[in-house]
């Protein structure tokens, strides 16, 4: 049985993806491809380190990370944020 997932962007993530995609059309294509992979297999990408271990991260190009978590009750993939690598891990240390 194939499970279909819906995507749900946080407002922060949607803004950042939109802005980055406008600035770089190649990045936009890469994001689309990664989102297809996530929908196909949401557990393909690594878990974030503690304390964010409920989230997963997908590397986008060499500088960015898309973080998300899977809500199995609603079959929804919730996209949390889209940040450069250093910002994600600086934030992790503050939480």
Q: Over the chain (95 residues), what is each successive 10-residue block's mean pLDDT?
A: 82 92 88 93 92 91 92 94 81 54
Q: What is the pLDDT of residue 67?
A: 95
Residue 18, C-beta contacts closer than 8 angstroms, at least 6 positions apart: none
Q: What is the pLDDT of residue 38?
A: 95
Q: Are strands 6-9 and 56-60 parallel, antiparallel or unpaired?
A: unpaired
Q: What is the pLDDT of residue 11?
A: 94
Of residues 63, 56, 55, the one with CA closest to residue 84: 63
Sign of the alpha-carbon dihedral angle for 51, 56, 60, 61: positive
Of residues 15, 6, 18, the one with CA closest to residue 70: 6
Residue 90, C-beta contacts closer than 8 angstroms, at least 6 positions apart: none
């Amino acid at each position: 049985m194939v499970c279909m997932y819906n995507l749900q962007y946080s407002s922060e993530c949607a803004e950042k993806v939109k802005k980055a995609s406008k600035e770089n059309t190649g990045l936009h294509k890469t994001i689309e491809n990664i989102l297809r992979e996530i929908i196909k297999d949401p557990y393909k990408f690594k878990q974030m380190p503690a304390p964010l271990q409920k989230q997963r991260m997908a590397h986008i190009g060499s500088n960015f990370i898309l973080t998300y978590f899977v809500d199995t009750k609603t079959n929804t993939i919730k996209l949390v944020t889209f940040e450069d690598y250093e910002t994600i891990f600086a934030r992790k240390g503050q939480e």
